[in-house]
């Protein structure tokens, strides 16, 4: 299979069953089969000392929802830490540092990750303060639990583990790695519903193809995410292309408009 040690991820959750299909299908499933990725799941409920195995309780001070109790969460984290002492302990929550390609690349260089998924209104702050290294958010929205955020993080990080992507693919060639949006892709048939594939892609001229793709990336980024152009590394040729594209977009005259 593979002689490199697997990248280890240990996930602590109240809902371990949510992860099975995502981690078995497609690329992540193959990465695990190849021994590149080792994912463990712990049910935090197993650490509950209450008779009904509750791991949550009402918030002090009142308010809606439930809060995950410090004791089962901290005990689960400490046991996972004994197993993976070098692992970075991450809490998935909306107050965290936002997950980006560059954070994912950084996380892939860690020895291992322990991911804590909060549910309800989150986790007792004392357990977080005692046990968590970093809070990470997948974006500015609230989910019913941290489980989907953990799956997104694992998927995004896994792409930077050597051998997970096919040898043809490079995570550095994708959108955002070069700070730009992707160029459009086409496959067979050459003509679909009367719409042709751009001729340049069938030319076999790799320099022309690369130039066309760069131009398409620049055009898409300028049109859809102009904010990205402020920080993307751009060559003089890129800047010249962007000026041409801007001129093409510019209407010759002010269009007439109502009211």
Partners of 11 in the β-ladder = 41, 115
Scanning 1-9, 136-144, 174-182, 211-219 for contacts with ligand 4G0 by CB under 6 A, the matching segment is: 136-144
Binds ligand 4G0 by CB under 6 A, chosen from 92, 116, 151, 154: 92
Report the residue closest to ligand 4G0, judged by CB: 122
The yes or no reply on residue 73 touching ligand 4G0 (CB under 6 A) is no
Strands 112-117 and 88-98, by their bridges, are parallel
Encode burial over 151-187: b for 16+ CB neighbours within 10 A, e otherwise.
Answer: bbbbbbbbbbbebbbeeeeebeeebbebbbbebeeee
Please name the residue ranges forming H helices in 84-205: 101-107, 125-131, 147-158
Q: Write each residue from 137 to 176 as x if it is in contact with ligand 4G0 (CB under 6 A), else as -, in one continuous string.
A: xxx-xxx-xx--x---------------------------
User: Shortest gap between Cβ of 69 and ligand 4G0 (angstroms)?
Assistant: 14
Of 122, 157, 164, 222, the one binding ligand 4G0 by CB under 6 A: 122
Nearer to ligand 4G0 among residue 90 and residue 158 (C-beta):
90
- CB-nearer residue toward ligand 4G0: 36 or 70: 70
Contacts of 119 (CB under 8 A, 6+ apart): 13, 14, 15, 56, 66, 68, 144, 145, 146, 147
Interface region with ligand 4G0, contact rule CB under 6 A, candidates 45-53, 90-98, 224-232, 243-251:
90-98
211: exposed, middle or buried (C-beta count within 10 Å: 0-12, 13-18, 19+)?
Answer: middle
Q: How many CB atoms lie within 10 A of CB 219?
A: 20
Task: Please report how close the Cβ of residue 91 comes to ligand 4G0 at its closest, in angstroms.
Answer: 7
Residue 59 binding ligand 4G0, by CB under 6 A = no
Q: How far is the CB of 78 from ligand 4G0 (least distance, A)?
A: 20
| Residues in CB range of 158: below 8 A, 6 or more apart | 7, 27, 28, 31, 37, 108, 164
Q: Does 93 bind ligand 4G0 (CB under 6 A)?
A: yes
Beta carbons of 164 and 39 less than 8 angstroms apart = no
Size of the site for ligand 4G0 (CB under 6 A): 15
DSSP H helical ranges for 34-192: 70-83, 101-107, 125-131, 147-158
Binding region for ligand 4G0 (CB under 6 A) out of 4-12, 47-55, 134-142, 213-221: 134-142
- Give the shortest CB-115-to-ligand 4G0 separation in angstroms: 11
Q: In this complex, which beta carbon is closest to ligand 4G0, that of residue 86 or of residue 142?
A: 142
Residues 99-118 that bind ligand 4G0 (CB under 6 A): 118
Helix (H/G/I), strand (E/B), else coil: 67: strand
Binding residues for ligand 4G0, rule: CB under 6 A, are 92-94, 118, 121-122, 137-139, 141-143, 145-146, 149
């Amino acid at each position: 299979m593979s002689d490199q040690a697997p990248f280890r991820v240990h996930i602590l959750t109240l809902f371990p069953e949510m992860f099975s299909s995502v981690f078995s299908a497609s690329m992540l499933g193959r990465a695990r089969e190849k021994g590149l990725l080792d994912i463990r799941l712990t049910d935090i409920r197993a650490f509950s000392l209450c008779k009904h195995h509750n791991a949550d309780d009402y918030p002090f001070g009142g308010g809606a929802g439930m809060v995950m109790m410090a004791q089962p969460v901290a005990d689960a984290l400490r046991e996972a830490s004994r197993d993976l002492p070098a692992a970075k302990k991450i809490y998935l929550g909306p107050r965290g540092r936002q997950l980006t390609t560059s954070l994912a690349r950084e996380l892939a260089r860690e020895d291992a990750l322990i991911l804590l998924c909060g549910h309800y209104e989150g986790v007792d702050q004392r357990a977080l303060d005692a046990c968590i290294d970093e809070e990470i958010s997948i974006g500015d929205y609230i989910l019913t639990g941290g489980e989907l955020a953990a799956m997104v993080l694992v998927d995004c990080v896994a792409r930077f583990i050597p051998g997970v992507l096919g040898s043809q693919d490079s995570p550095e060639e994708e959108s955002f790695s070069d700070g730009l949006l992707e160029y459009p892709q086409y496959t067979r048939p050459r003509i679909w519903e009367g719409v042709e594939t751009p001729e340049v892609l069938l030319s076999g001229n790799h320099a022309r193809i690369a130039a066309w793709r760069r131009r398409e990336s620049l055009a898409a980024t300028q049109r859809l995410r102009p904010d990205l152009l402020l920080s993307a590394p751009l060559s003089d040729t890129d800047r010249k292309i962007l000026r041409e594209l801007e001129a093409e977009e510019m209407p010759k005259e002010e269009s007439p408009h109502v009211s």
